[in-house]
Amino acid sequence: MINVLVTGSNGQLANCIKDIEKQYDNLNFIYTDYQELDICDLDQIRIFFESNEKIDYCINCAAYTDVDSAEKDKANAYEINALGAKKLATVCISYKTVLIHISTDFVFDGEKTDPYNELEQPNPLSVYGNTKLKGEIEIKQILKRYIIIRTSWLYSEHGNNFVKTMLRLSKDKKELSIISDQVGTPTYAGDLAVVILNIIRETPQSYGTYHYSNLGSISWFDFAKAIFEESKIAIKLTPIKTKDYLTLAKRPLYSVLDKTKINKTFNIEIPHWKESLKKTLSRLN
């Protein structure tokens, strides 16, 4: 039996792992949120690893993900996203645990017009992106047996995300203005969960940094349009530019990820975002 620790158990990705865990008979899951395991407390992490049966893999879903709040709450964002990752890695190396760490497309500045691969130079625009990049760097300095997965525009049936926000707003509003000049790829967290657990089941030897999102690319405006069309909701959508919708954090205008490496290395099938959106909406509706 392979023991898998999942931190940040109340988040979207962890909940999607819970949804499919019964399909993986050889994996035993231990779920923790910050109440059970604070990744910012090195002593607590050590005690937790010592108190449990050998932890073979740690999937770190714990993160400070409020992009705009991070601009004003830099210390907490850094503590969780950078130092938390460092402390987990420090304990993982002591217990020979493989760390699977979830990162973000926001490590890039969005100045390209073709998909970012894993060798591209990061240049984050926000505190959130910067702290996530520093977490990656800390892990790489400590561990050899790690998998960092950068993903983008995560959504699911769980938690707060763009899809659920659009559906909620449509109940009270007849018109919405949506940004049309930020382009990326929506990623269903359930698809990412399957990829991670399949990698663990196959006992990976190819460690390093990988990109994963669904296939295709789209703007937030066109994504919203697809959500409402698939849900058969009549609502007026107005495209607006990023410059006309001011936020605390600056976001990349283009953050499509190149999935060639993860596809070839682990021989995985990657669904198109349209296909995964339809499945998610059918579950939500």
Q: Which helix (H) or strand (E) holds 236?
A: strand 236-240
CA-to-CA dists, residue 153 to 156, 184, 250, angstroms: 10, 7, 15
9-34 burial, b for 16+ CB within 10 Å, e for fewer?
A: bebbbbbbbebebeebeebebbbbbb
Nearest in space to 200 (alpha carbons), one of 115, 97, 279, 274: 97
Give the Cα separation of 202 and 213 in Å (integer): 20
> What are the backbone angles phi and psi of residue 32, rounded to the nearest 5°?
-135, 140
Catalytic residues: 128
Give the Cα separation of 131 and 154 in Å (integer): 18
Show the DSSP H helices in the chain as ranges: 12-20, 42-51, 69-72, 74-78, 84-94, 127-142, 162-169, 189-201, 220-231, 260-266, 273-284
